[in-house]
Amino acid sequence: MQPVQVILHEGADVQGFRRAARSLIARRIAPPDVSWTCAQMPELFANDEAEAARPFTLPRAVAELIDQALCHRDPDRYSLAYTLIWRVLHGERAVLEVQSDPLVHRLEVLRKAIGRDLHKMHAFLRFRQLARADGQEQFIAWFEPDHYIVEATAGFFVDRFRGLIWSIFTPVGSLHWDRENLIIGPPGSKADLPESDSFEAGWTQYYESTFNPARLNPDLMRKEMPMKYWRNLPEAKSIARLIEAAPARVEEMIQQEMAVSAKRNPEKAVAEMANQNPQSLEALNRIIAAAEPLVPGATRAVLGEGPIGAIAFVGEQPGDQEDLQGRPFIGPAGQLLDAALEKSGIDRRRVYVTNAVKHFKFEQRGKRRIHQKPTAGEVKHYRWWLMKELTFVKPRLVVALGATAALALTGKAVSIAQARGRTQFEDFPGFITVHPSYLLRLPDEAAKRAAYTAFLADLKQIARLAQAEPAKAAAAE
């Protein structure tokens, strides 16, 4: 017997296939006796005959698999789909559960390819704005799908852009939406699209703002967004530039993210700092300098300064002058420290000076910025930086100037009166004394003098202790 010829429209002729399948099943024509072809001509089965044929019902999963597989370009798609229908209606209703069945497997492969193609069209289709004579806004897009998915994708675009007038042209069909009606039309041409427009600039800007350089993997990117789509994507022009700028942007993002998460969760922020693992004082300082202050307001991070292997003096936080000039201990407390160091035989240029907290925290009162003590949480946040800094500075002796420095260096609240004197800060020989600004604040002149004398005595002891300590910097090299 001659096979029955079924001729369907080019593309995914789902309606034509359904009519034909109904008629073939009604006439008990088995799959091997049917030959399926596509052409640009009316289908063989007239509507009347199809309506007359008794409809059959398929399990929903089977119907869905067939609808998707028919969108594929595979020339065997109709024959595969009809074979599946035949088998389901002849006792194999659960055939889809047998994944190893060659027919099921093949149809699943087709379905997956369609899923990927739909995803690409949803993700990479770009509308351009068309100036219409009647002043209405109209949007046009061009897309080149791999398969016959134009109709299958219509629901997605109608839902997304219901309030706009738009047309989507592809080499295999077109969609037109006027805010109420959807028309499925013939293929279009790229030449129907306007060259460029303000909408395109918008897409480019959107892409650049959502581009995540930290996740940059050019190979993966080409896989996700194959180059063939690039030519129709306005934002693709930005890709090379964005790739080039990615490392610098990653660094910037890390700093921003650290500042935000530090506010939300200081413990986690400390762990993130530790992850950065700088290998030198310069690298650490770059990280500190780029970080946002925990409390907004400071002009900059004030970094430590002085030679490696010296005595390291650790203060609380930069003051107003330090914040403006970017150097530690140069305001009134710094001047007092300088004078006291000189009197004790210590050259300020030969010591390292830094702070527990790297940013100035203050309260604005009129034009004045009034120093505010950092909280224990803030000190803890900066502690990792300080301890890392000291490992690079390799001090002979670390001096805590006041309670905040002592808290940072010991990790616990310390009473200066009780703890004053020689101590140990983790791996570093240490000394705890008062902060110079404590001396400045004392209201009573006699108490001030006595406190200053005691401070000088501490500094002299510090000088002696430092001399007795081996030079770690030299020893480490």
> Which residues sit at the interface with ligand URA, rule CB under 6 A?
315-319, 322, 328-329, 331, 333-334, 355, 437
CB-wise, 150 or 356, nearer to ligand URA?
356
Which two three-digit tokens encode residue 243? 């790739």
Long-range contacts of 440-444 (CB under 8 A, 24+ apart): 440/332, 440/333, 440/336
Residues 6+ apart with CB under 8 A from 377: 266
Residue 396 C-beta: closest distance to ligand URA, Å: 21
Cα–Cα distance measured from residue 276 to residue 284, given in angstroms and rounded to the nearest whole number: 9
SS3 441: helix
Euclidean distance between CA atoms 281 and 477, whole angstroms: 15
Distance separating the N- and C-terminal Cα atoms of the chain: 94
Which CB atom, from 237 or from 373, has the smaller least distance to ligand URA? 373
Q: Give the residue with the Cβ less far from ligand URA, 158 or 324.
A: 324
Minimum distance, C-beta of residue 231 to ligand URA, in the bound complex (Å): 57
Of the pair 174, 437, the CB lying nearest ligand URA is at: 437
Q: Using the minimum distance from each CB to ligand URA, give the nearer residue, 142 or 362.
A: 362
Query: Minimal CA–CA distance to 196: which of 145, 140, 122?
Result: 140
Q: Residue 434 corresponds to which tokens in the numbers above?
A: 């008062």
d(CA 125, CA 205): 16
Q: How far is the CB of 402 from ligand URA (least distance, A)?
A: 7
> Under a CB-based contact definition with an 8 Å cutoff, are residues 355 and 302 in contact?
yes
Minimum Å distance from CB 285 to ligand URA? Answer: 15
Distances (CA, A) of 281 to 24, 285, 375, 398: 81, 6, 26, 17
Distance CA 310, CA 352 (A): 6
Q: Closest separation between CB of residue 213 and ligand URA, Å?
A: 35
Instruction: Identify which of residues 168 and 294 has a Cβ nearer to ligand URA in the complex.
Output: 294
266, 182 contact by CB (below 8 A): no
Q: Report the residue number whose CB is nearest to ligand URA.
A: 315
- The least CB distance from residue 125 to ligand URA, in Å, is 57
Nearest CB to ligand URA, comparing residues 261 and 321: 321
| Cα Rg, the chain, nearest whole Å | 38
For residues 403 and 414, give the distance between their C-alpha atoms in angstroms, rounded to a whole number.
Answer: 6
Query: CA 10, CA 134: separation in Å to the nearest integer?
Result: 35
Q: How far is the CB of 332 from ligand URA (least distance, A)?
A: 8
| Residue with smaller CB distance to ligand URA, 396 or 435 | 435
Structure tokens at 328: 């530690």
**Strand extents, DSSP E, 316-433:** 352-355, 362-365, 368-371, 397-401, 421-425, 428-433
Q: What is the nearest approach in angstroms of ligand URA to the Cβ of residue 282?
A: 20
The first and second tokens of residue 58, run together, are 């398929």
Q: How far is the CB of 279 from ligand URA (least distance, A)?
A: 26
- Within 8 A by CB and 6+ apart from 433, the residues are 399, 400, 401, 402, 416, 420, 455, 458, 459, 462
Provide the minimum distance between the beta carbon of 247 and ligand URA in the complex, in angstroms, as a whole number: 33
Query: Given the complex with ligand URA, which of 38 and 289 has the nearer CB atom?
Result: 289
C-beta separation of 109 from 101 below 8 A: no
Q: Are 167 and 232 in contact (CB under 8 A)?
A: no
Rank residues 273 and 333 by Cβ distance to ligand URA and give the closer one: 333
Cβ-Cβ contacts under 8 Å for 9 (sequence gap 6 or more): 16, 38, 39, 40, 43
Supply the minimum distance, in Å, between the C-beta of residue 349 and ligand URA. 16
The Cα–Cα gap between 316 and 473 comes to 25
Pairing of the two strands 397-401 and 311-315: parallel
Q: Which is nearer to ligand URA, 234 or 334 (CB)?
A: 334
Identify which of residues 188 and 402 has a Cβ nearer to ligand URA in the complex.
402
CB of 322 to ligand URA, least distance (A): 4
